[in-house]
């Protein structure tokens, strides 16, 4: 559980290898056609641009000495044409690759989101939401350019080097060797920096993730922060995290800038060496000034692709750190899913059996042990007991939000582990204590779990749970826009809307987890009348700390000591004078 903190770096479960990049090629292959077109345009643009030094050499060595005015104008016009055509082709290519990059982002982000929708509750229990969000948004953005432009540019720069090398050797072989003499030094620098760069980018990724997680947590808890006047303390925490990020970023940039710094200096040294060898060692008899001028131009052009390749390498090292995170998320196992040959759960009556069920969130720390419960169809069951005893765990296992560690759970004799999840959960209505409201209208929120419901059915569900009255008090009624988490609504209003959403699904099994905890006593009494009608013929599980709300349930199960400590009706348990009796009596005295 240490991973579930904003100030803990997430170490990678597995090191990066070439398999990650091969997996990335799946997204690239979808864009094969536009990328080929872009590559052809890039090659044409580069080839046309490489003819400029040859034109310049001819003008310096032939046209100018011959004092030919009109040929000089013609050659100048031709050089201008090469520049214009090269720029036009590069612009078209840039537009194509912009679209390709966005399509790759869309595909990766969609796959990530779909996978996150299927991951079990345990995954979200183990890490802050901010560290999940940054992978879907920031990391995907960071890798898109490398997976689109990066690959084309890499191939193109290699071809550029080959073309430039061919042009250089065609002009002068000896001066070409002078230009190539700097390559061993460059490769030595790259080898020294390679490992350090990858580690540096991983550190940046960690600090960025931590910072994002704390920002998300702080925004979600801003009301609590202001209630307890924690603004100054929280600002200090943020400053520390931001400082850590800044420090790692600066270290990484220092390493990154070493490569272009090395290339720039090598280019200067090689250009100087060309003039030295050409003018002093070889002399005018062997080489003309036009040749030296052309070769110095090719030297700059030769080292520019190398600088570009080094920048691409930096981008690739950066992208590798993010790809590791992205594929780590995509590789996160969906532990709660349809098993092979899973069957559709037929329309259920609602009999539920816990057969020797054991469950642990963390291995070796059982929450429930050898639990046996048999609930008849249509029976109402109350789960009571101390906080942390496992009441919510019981209903989460019925919904199969977690897999049991041992034993099995049956519904109408069908093992839910072998049933398709959709066919199971579509027949259940679950009202959680945390009433989450989505951004949109109140109508949309109630209809969230049953999109085919009519407006009349939505209103009917709201009336049953006593939400209709306060909804109609809003200026736009059911079409009132609410913010994420329902910030414009009271907590009780949010719970009633969530109640209506659950009831609209018309479930065969109804689970109410502290469903009335934020509703005032008057509303609860009104709501209870509707619930009594709704619970008829449905199997229901009700978790409540206020025992007055569960007195009328068919059976009350007191959950404690990793199992069921007591079971019976309200009258039976009161007559037994056990744990339930003492808990109920204590609440009556407090009231």
In the chain, domain spans? 18-330, 337-426+549-591
Highest mean pLDDT pick, 178-182, 322-326, 469-473 = 469-473
Assess if CATH 3.40.630.10 describes domain 18-330.
Answer: no
Does residue 536 surpass a pLDDT of 50? yes
User: Could you tell me the pLDDT band of residue 2, with boundaries at 50, 70 and 90?
Assistant: very low
Same fold, 18-330 and 337-426+549-591: no
Question: Which residue do the tokens 């779990």 mark?
Answer: 449
Arithmetic mean of pLDDT over the chain: 81
Q: Is the dihedral of CA 35, 41, 44, 50 positive or negative?
A: negative
Longest dimension (CA), the chain: 121
568 phi, psi to nearest 5 deg: 160, 180
Strand 428-431, strand 509-513: pairing: parallel
Does residue 395 surpass a pLDDT of 50? yes
Highest mean pLDDT pick, 50-54, 258-262, 478-482 = 478-482
In SS3 terms, 349-410 reads as: CCCEEEEEEEEEEECCEEEEEEEEEEECCCCEEEEECCCCCCHHHHHHHHCCCCCCCEEEEE
Does residue 300 surpass a pLDDT of 90? no
Query: Residue 270 CA to chain centroid, in angstroms?
Result: 46
CATH architecture under which domain 337-426+549-591 falls: 3-Layer(aba) Sandwich (3.40)
Encode pLDDT of 150-172 as tens digits. Answer: 777 777 778 778 877 887 787 77
Between 569 and 76, residue with greater pLDDT: 569
Does residue 538 surpass a pLDDT of 80? yes
Answer yes or no: pTM beyond 0.95: no
Contact 128, 217 (CB under 8 A): yes
- Three-state secondary-structure class, residue 577: coil
Query: Residue 44 CA to chain centroid, in angstroms?
Result: 38
pLDDT at site 534: 66
Which of 471-475, 511-515, 526-530, 565-569 is predicted least confidently?
526-530
One-character DSSP codes across 503-527: HHT--SEEEEESTTTTS-HHHHHHH
User: Could you tell me the pLDDT band of residue 1, with boundaries at 50, 70 and 90?
Assistant: very low
pLDDT at site 13: 47
Which uninterrupted H or E stretch holds 123? Answer: helix 121-125
Long-range CB pairs of 22-31 (<8 Å, 24+ gap) are 23/327, 24/143, 24/147, 24/323, 27/104, 27/107, 27/108, 27/147, 28/104, 28/147, 28/148, 28/151, 30/103, 30/104, 30/107, 31/100, 31/103, 31/104, 31/148
- Three-state secondary-structure class, residue 448: coil
- Average pLDDT for residues 225-244, to the nearest whole number? 84
Between 34 and 167, residue with greater pLDDT: 34
- Average pLDDT for residues 318-324, to the nearest whole number? 73
- Three-state secondary-structure class, residue 100: helix
Between 258 and 228, residue with greater pLDDT: 258
pLDDT at site 282: 66
- Three-state secondary-structure class, residue 440: strand
- Three-state secondary-structure class, residue 567: strand
C-alpha to C-alpha distance for 43 and 160, rounded to whole angstroms: 8
Question: Which residue do the tokens 């594929």 mark?
Answer: 327
Tokens representing 410? 């049956």
Contact 118, 70 (CB under 8 A): no
Does residue 566 surpass a pLDDT of 90? yes
Does residue 417 surpass a pLDDT of 90? yes
């Amino acid at each position: 559980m240490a991973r579930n903190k904003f100030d803990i770096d997430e170490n990678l479960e597995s090191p990066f290898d070439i398999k990650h990049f091969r997996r990335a090629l799946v997204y690239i292959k979808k864009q094969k056609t536009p990328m080929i077109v872009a590559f052809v345009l890039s090659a044409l643009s580069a080839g046309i641009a490489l003819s400029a030094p040859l034109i310049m050499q001819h003008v310096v060595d032939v046209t100018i000495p011959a004092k030919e005015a009109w040929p000089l104008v013609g050659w100048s016009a031709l050089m201008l044409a090469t520049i214009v055509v090269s720029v036009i082709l590069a612009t078209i290519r840039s537009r194509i690759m912009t679209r390709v990059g966005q399509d790759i982002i869309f595909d990766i982000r969609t796959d990530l989101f779909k996978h996150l929708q299927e991951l079990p509750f345990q995954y979200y229990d183990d890490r802050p939401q901010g560290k999940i969000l940054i992978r879907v948004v920031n990391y995907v953005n960071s890798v898109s350019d490398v997976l689109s432009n990066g690959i084309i540019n890499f191939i193109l720069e290699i071809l550029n080097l080959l073309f430039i090398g061919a042009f250089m050797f065609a002009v002068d072989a000896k001066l070409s060797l002078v230009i190539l003499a700097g390559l061993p030094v460059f490769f030595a620098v790259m080898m020294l920096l390679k490992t350090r760069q990858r580690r540096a980018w991983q550190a940046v990724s960690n600090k960025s993730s931590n910072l994002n997680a704390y920002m998300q947590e702080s925004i979600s808890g801003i009301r609590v922060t202001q209630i307890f006047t924690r603004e100054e303390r929280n600002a200090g925490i943020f400053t520390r995290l931001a400082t850590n990020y800044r420090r790692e970023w600066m270290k990484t940039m220092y390493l990154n800038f070493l490569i272009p710094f090395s290339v720039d200096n090598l280019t200067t040294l090689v250009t100087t060496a060309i003039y030295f060898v050409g003018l002093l060692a070889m002399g005018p008899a062997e080489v003309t000034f036009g040749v030296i001028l052309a070769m110095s131009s090719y030297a700059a052009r030769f080292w520019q692709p190398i600088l570009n390749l080094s920048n691409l390498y930096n981008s690739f090292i950066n992208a590798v750190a993010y790809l590791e995170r992205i594929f780590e998320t995509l590789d996160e196992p969906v532990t709660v899913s349809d098993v092979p040959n899973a069957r559709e759960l037929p329309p259920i009556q609602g009999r539920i059996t816990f057969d020797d069920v054991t469950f642990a969130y963390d291995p070796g720390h059982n929450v429930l042990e050898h639990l046996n419960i048999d609930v008849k169809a249509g029976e109402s069951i109350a789960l009571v007991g101390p906080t942390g005893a496992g009441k919510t765990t019981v209903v989460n296992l019925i919904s199969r939000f977690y897999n049991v560690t041992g034993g099995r759970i049956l519904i109408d004799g069908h093992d839910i582990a072998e049933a398709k999840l959709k066919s199971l959960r579509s027949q259940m209505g679950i009202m959680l204590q945390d009433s989450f409201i989505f951004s949109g209208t109140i109508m949309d929120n109630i209809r969230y779990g049953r999109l085919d419901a009519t407006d009349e059915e939505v209103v009917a569900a709201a009336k049953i749970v006593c939400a209709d009255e306060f909804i109609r008090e809003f200026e736009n009624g059911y079409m009132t826009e609410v913010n994420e988490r329902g910030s414009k609504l009271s907590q009780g209003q949010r719970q009633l809307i969530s109640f209506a959403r659950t009831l609209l699904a018309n479930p065969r099994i109804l689970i109410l987890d502290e469903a009335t905890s934020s509703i005032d006593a008057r509303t609860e009494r009104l709501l209870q009348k509707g619930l009594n009608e709704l619970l008829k013929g449905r199997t229901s599980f009700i978790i409540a700390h206020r025992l007055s709300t569960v007195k009328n349930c068919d059976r009350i199960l007191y959950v404690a000591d990793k199992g069921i400590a007591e079971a019976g009706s309200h009258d039976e348990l009161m007559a037994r004078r056990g744990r339930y009796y003492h808990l109920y009596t204590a609440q009556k005295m407090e009231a």
